[in-house]
Chain A
Amino acid sequence: MKLLQVKDLLDCTVVAGEALLESEVGSCFAADLMSDVLAYSRPGALLITGLTTVQSVHTADVADCAGILFVSSKQPNPEALALAQVRGIPVLSTRRSAFEACGELFRNGLSQDARP
């Protein structure tokens, strides 16, 4: 699934990386605990989180995530946004809760374990 489809499915606003929405999302990983993402996510995963600090962006970068989806209308703080722009990491935000966002993406074929 492309990020563009994630955007449409969850009615997201594009916070950063408008030009990168053709990127492929291989799987999803939802957590506010970045150590969990670092330990268990697969390269190419979409990071679904409510953590809005720079650590979410560093985590996405280090773990080779396809992008970040902030849930519950959360927005990255200004430092995190600037970092995402510099690193070229696409950032989406949805009004849906983490539970709803995960459910919708799962229903449409994404899972935690799929390889990109």
Chain B
Amino acid sequence: MSEAVSLAPELLYQKSFVIRGNDYDHGGEAAAQVKAILKQLGIAPELIRRLSIANFEAEMNAIMYAYEARLELSVFSNAVRVVISDHGPGIPDIGWALEEGNSTATPEMRARGFGAGLGLPNIKRNSDEFAIESTVGTGTTLRYAVLLNDGLGS
């Protein structure tokens, strides 16, 4: 009881996934693997659903637009954080891309059920923290998190 309590959140789990551009046949596998991990870690189902939706959209974005991307999952005692950074064409106008309905998708992307300009808004809606930075010709990095208000672990 009298022990000093560290306020810094504890990193409980970390794992990276590689996502390859144009790899539609595997589009969704990283999100599925992350979902299984979060379930094993005992995260609440509603939070898993929000994170999984964000992860799936982010994964499909990487497949549709980037050459290659890395999804890094970090589970802290107070939040689940995801960073997806890609090598790709980048986003010239982030404000435009964040507006629902705006998209540069091709017919192939739409034929897969994506590319309607809902991806980034969906990720934002399903996360408690959201940040995006992009450099045209270099790539895009997305950072988002879902907060664990009840905490996780000891």
Contacts and interface: CB of A to CB of B under 8 A. Distances in A.
Interface string B25-63: 111110110010000000001100100110111001000
Contacts of B113: 32-35, 49, 51, 53, 55-56, 59
Interface string A84-110: 000100000000000000000000000
Given A58-B31, A58-B32, A33 B116 contact: yes
Contacts of A34: 112-114
Interface stretch (B8-16, B77-85, B91-99, B118-126): B118-126
A58 B114 contact: no
Interface residues of B, number: 27
Contact of B122 (A35, A49, A87): A35
Contacts, number: 78
B45 to A, nearest CB: 7
Interface of B: 24-29, 31-32, 35, 45-46, 49, 52-53, 55-57, 60, 112-114, 116, 118-119, 121-122, 125
Interface of A: 32-36, 38-39, 43, 49, 51, 53-59, 61-64, 79, 87
